Amino acid sequence: SKSKDSILEKSNILLIGPTGSGKTLLAQTLAKILNVAFTIVDATTLTEAGYVGDDVENILVALLQAADDDVEKAERGIIYIDEIDKIARKSDSASLTRDVSGEGVQQALLKIIEGTVASIPPKGGRKHPQQELIRIDTTNILFIVGGAFVGLDRVIKRRSGTKAIGFGAKVVKDPKKSVGEILADVEPEDLLKFGLIPELAGRLPVIAPMKELTEEDLIRILKEPRNALTKQYKKLFELEGITLSFTEGALEAVAKKAIARKSGARGLRSVMEEAMLDVMYELPSDEDATDCVINEQVITQGDYPVILYDKADSKKSA
């Protein structure tokens, strides 16, 4: 039948989104759901073969190790290459020196991403003639490539913006859009202008732009996941016999501060650490304390949290 003659091929994915928007977590969660071998590689450490740094083929060594040295399992795995935007060409003009960690790495990635049989040393490192090599077919390995692509929004604006010249020209005010909304209009030609080589852009047929996280998203991240920050701090205080609680106002203030820092979900921990540092140091030595309440003022003004005591119904605030 015709269906038996059809061969299914993979579609590699390019994730574009601001820092802390969940690109890496998305890839990790996908691998966990599918129950396949998964590895994360930093594109900035890669160099062309023969230069100081990691060979591009070493990413397959990391995947093989994640698959417990099972070649068949590794050949159905997922590789997430992070910070791909950091190896973009810096300019359209030809460079006088060889770009071994930028455009050179992009060219080295081409065959592995598309599908080839690569020979890799069992323990990684450089190849030498005396060692036995392991052959891995990358045809069915899914490559997810991610990056923040800072400045890509300006490239998209220049392409999509209308230009008007002359006295009779109609001046149209640009609607105010967030970076995430602008990235949603990305085209392959924008990636080429940013610095990806056409061959690499062509091997990433699925482009998935991600929006920056909103205040509501960050509040949910603080409360809902199994490893949510509020749950982690509550557990730490629980070990000292103290019940920790956060008001809704405090969580909103944490989210607002994290948005102002423009570091996405990663900014939540630094805001929380800043607010909790003193009380985490002092409270374990206070034997009478039973409850600690974090309110909005603790986050916004640096006030001391409200402490409830067992013996007297008093509150400590400084």
Q: 252-265, pLDDT tens digit by residue?
A: 999 999 999 988 89
Measured at the CA of 58, the angle between CA 144 and CA 41, to 5 degrees, comes to: 35
Closest C-alpha among 103, 121, 112 to residue 56? 112
Domain with CATH 3.40.50.300 in the chain: 10-209
56-71 pLDDT, tens digit each: 888 999 999 999 999 9
Residue 130 has pLDDT above 70, yes or no: no
E strand or H helix at 13, and its extent? Answer: strand 13-16
Closest C-alpha among 101, 124, 103, 102 to residue 52? 101
pLDDT at 318: 44
Whole-structure pTM over 0.85, yes or no? no
Residue 313 has pLDDT above 60, yes or no: no
Can you tell me the mean pLDDT for 208-235? 94
Q: Which residues partner with 41 through β-bridges?
A: 81
Multiple choice CATH, 10-209, 3.30.9.10, 3.40.50.300, 3.20.20.140, 3.20.20.70: 3.40.50.300
Can you tell me the mean pLDDT for 30-56? 84
Highest mean pLDDT range out of 42-46, 102-106, 218-222? 218-222
Can you tell me the mean pLDDT for 25-31? 93
pLDDT at 162: 55
Q: What is the mean pLDDT of the chain?
A: 86
CATH class in words for 215-316: mainly alpha
Closest C-alpha among 26, 265, 264 to residue 145? 26
Report the SS3 class of residue 1. coil
Domain with CATH 1.10.8.60 in the chain: 215-316
